[in-house]
Amino acid sequence: MRSKHFRSRGAVVALVILLLVAAAVAAAILGNRDDPPDRAPQQVQATAEQLRLGRYLARAADCAACHQTAQGAAYAGGFPLETPFGTVYGTNITPDPDHGIGRWTADEFYGALTRGKAPHGRNLYPAMPYTAYHDIARADADLIYAYLMNVRPSAQANKKPDIPFPLNLRILMSGWNLLFFDKDPLPAASQGESQQWVRGRYLSNVLGHCGECHTPRGALGQVKRDEWLQGYALGRFEAPSLTPRALAERGWNPADLQRFLRTGLAPQGIAADEMYPVILHSTQYLGDDDLAAMSAFMLGDHPPPPVPAPQARPEDGPPSAGRRVYLNTCAACHGIDGNGHAPGMPPLADNSTVRLESPRNLLLSILDGLPGQRLPDGTEIGEMPGFARRLSDDEVAQLTNYLRAAWGGRPGEVAAGDVAKLREGK
């Protein structure tokens, strides 16, 4: 009788485990469901002023940078966001009822922005920066929603993320959120209490979500709040530190920072890599007061004095190996003395990339090159070719050390092995 009792009890336990596994599998499958809500398309009425404010806020939140491609319709999605865990594609956020957000309510839109929850409870990946947007004002979210619900709808289908199993199971994001989704206000790297600084904190931390790229991350992709805005290489290039000390060390002052956010061009350099679309889609459209507020937040109510550009260190006697590489490779565009050719070829003497503590971005600029681009004020920036095939690791290291020593005030400590690692994508 006792043996029969244990067999019966074991069967019950097995059944419970089986049911739990079935429930987990069902939850995982349902959690990946991206069907639109089963309701009629929403009709959102808004005044001209509300639409104007909504468009302004959508630009301040940089929605277009991730939710449209250069060739696609506005907000129709498709832009690839590469992460260490796979590639996520920006979704269609036009009012199309089947592929966009046309059936979403304002509450559902707000939930996606601030909690990372789409309709049906589907978890969003934190490539959608709800970890920053969680502090967005409800009134601002509603204005953005009203604006998006009144743009031209696009029937462009959403592209599924290229994320391997089991990381593609969105139910796992519930655990990630429990561990890392901190709903406290985001930190500040500067000191301030003025209304301008407070406004800048909202624009930079929340709407602009600057910390998503400029803050180091942990092994599971979580932002390290205790290293806020201290710089991070989320992609190939490094998003540099935006702390007041680091900005001042690279020569930034409030006026130049505001000019850069408006035009992508300042004495310290030209917007490139992922900063270029930020200016193209977002900051160029902000008002002067808001750009001043962002500058105040980044540098603080009492900005540290900018460190002057290091005095050029001309070489005496025969040119060094790095100088010879420079003369043969770079001088035609940047000038024999590194003064550049305004406006399309920047000088090197006050260049923020040359002055960065890490040589990573300078090395990548030499290896990979930089694309030509048109800045918001119409300035045409010439393409910088990459020299990965033309220069050896030793030559790239020699050139980098020469640039940093001559115009960056930095030690020439780059070795050929450092170049080799970047060639390999490390």
Residue 17 lies in a domain: no
Residues in contact with 188: Cβ distance below 8 Å, sequence separation at least 6, in sequence order: 201, 205, 228, 297
CATH of the domain at 329: 1.10.760.10
Does residue 382 fall inside a structural domain? yes
Q: Which residues contact 71 (CB under 8 A, 6 or more apart)?
A: none
How far is 289 from 21, CA to CA, in rounded Å? Answer: 55
What pLDDT was estimated at residue 12? 45
111 by DSSP, 3-state: which? helix
Tens digit of pLDDT for each residue in 341-372? 877 788 888 899 999 999 999 999 999 999 99
User: Collapsing DSSP states into helix, strand and coil, what is residue 88?
Assistant: strand
Boundary-marking domain end, from 299, 333, 359? 299
Whether pLDDT at 418 is above 80: yes
In a domain, 313, yes or no: no
Task: Verify that 217 and 274 share a domain, yes or no.
Answer: yes
Say yes or no to pLDDT of 234 above 80: yes
Q: Which residues are annotated as a binding site?
A: 63, 66-67, 210, 213-214, 330, 333-334
Instruction: Tell me, yes or no, whether 340 and 251 share the same domain.
Output: no
- Looking at residue 94, its pLDDT comes to 98
Q: Which of 403, 304, 419, 418 is nearest to 355 (CA)?
A: 403
- Considering the domain architecture, whether residues 341 and 246 belong to the same structural domain is answered as no
- Whether residue 159 is found in the same domain as residue 64: yes
- Domain membership of residue 125 (yes or no) is yes
Judge whether 247 lies within some domain: yes
- Summarised one tens digit per residue, pLDDT across range 152-187 is 999 999 999 999 999 999 999 999 999 999 999 999
Residues forming a β-bridge with 81:
88
Nearest CA to 149 out of 208, 113, 100 is that of: 100
Tokens of 388: 């990965």
Please give the sequence-ordered ranges of beta strands (E in DSSP) within 10-119, or none if there are none: 80-83, 86-89
Statement to judge: residues 174 and 232 lie in one domain: no
How many domains is the chain built from?
3
What's the pLDDT score for residue 426? 60
pLDDT at 22 exceeding the cut of 60: no
For residue 21, is it within any domain?
Answer: no
Looking at residue 361, what is its pLDDT? 96
Tell me which residue of 331, 341, 320, 328 sits closest to 402, measured CA to CA: 320
Q: Identify whether 209 is part of a domain.
A: yes
**What's the maximum distance between 2 C-alpha atoms anywhere in the chain?**
101
pLDDT at residue 16, rounded to an integer: 39
What size, in residues, is the chain?
426
From residue 49, alpha-carbon distances to 62, 97, 149, 281, 284 in Å are 20, 25, 15, 21, 20
Pick the last residue of a domain from 156, 180, 204. Answer: 180
* pTM of the predicted protein model: 0.90
Residues 63 and 158 placed together within one structural domain of the fold: yes
Whether residue 316 is predicted with pLDDT greater than 80 in this model: the reply is no
Q: How far apart are CA 344 and CA 7, in angstroms?
A: 81
Based on the fold, state whether residues 224 and 294 are members of the same structural domain. yes
The H or E element spanning position 266 is: strand 265-266
Binding residues for heme c are: 63, 66-67, 210, 213-214, 330, 333-334
202 and 155 both lie in a single domain: no
Q: How far apart are CA 99 and CA 361, in angstroms?
A: 38
Same-domain check for residues 175 and 199: no
251 and 295 together in one domain = yes
Question: Domain range spanning residue 255?
Answer: 195-299
Q: What is the CATH number of the domain that holds 214?
A: 1.10.760
Q: Looking at 299, 333, 356, which one is the last position of a domain? A: 299
pLDDT per residue as tens digits for the range 99-132: 999 999 999 999 999 999 999 999 999 999 999 9
For residues 199 and 230, membership in a common domain is answered with yes
**Residue 255: what pLDDT?**
97
Mean pLDDT for the chain overall:
91
How many CA atoms lie within 13 Å of 155's alpha carbon, on the beta-carbon side?
A: 0
